[in-house]
Amino acid sequence: METFPDSIIPTILSLAVTFKERKQAHVENVLDKYAAEHPKSATDASVVRAQATAAAGNFLEAAKSLEAIPELRHKPGMIATIVALREKGGDVQGAEIVLDNAVEYWRNHTGDDVRSTLETIIQVLFKPLESFLIYHHV
């Protein structure tokens, strides 16, 4: 890891072995520590942590990890992922809150490119939102 001190890749590769050994807590601790020590790679570490957590079956913890990334949590793809994780974890009400917060966020953030942004959001979220509402009779 000393060869590439600013890269998260060596850390991820070493943690892959740890993850296969089912040492999830150790993986999470190392990624949390890495994020604290390398602020420029904190987002990457948080996304990898969420992925490992979801792979271990803890979908709600994975959703919380993704929600904690301020620069990504309002992006359409991230919203869809968080909703899916919450739904898979059995937190339908939490998934609905995420969707409500996303709608509110995008209503309040306008600019010159609002129309294209809203069109993108509608395209990305409409199908998952439709499926969610139909499945849960919301």
- Of residues 126 and 85, the one with the higher pLDDT is 85
How many whole angstroms separate alpha carbon 70 and alpha carbon 78? 11
Assess whether pLDDT exceeds 50 at residue 1. no
Mean pLDDT for 18-33 is 83
* 65 close to 71: Cβ distance less than 8 angstroms: no
Assess whether pLDDT exceeds 80 at residue 134. no
Instruction: Please name the residue ranges forming H helices in the chain.
Output: 9-20, 24-37, 42-55, 59-67, 76-88, 92-108, 114-136
pLDDT, the chain, mean: 82
In the chain, what are the domain boundaries?
1-56, 73-138
Assess whether pLDDT exceeds 80 at residue 3. no
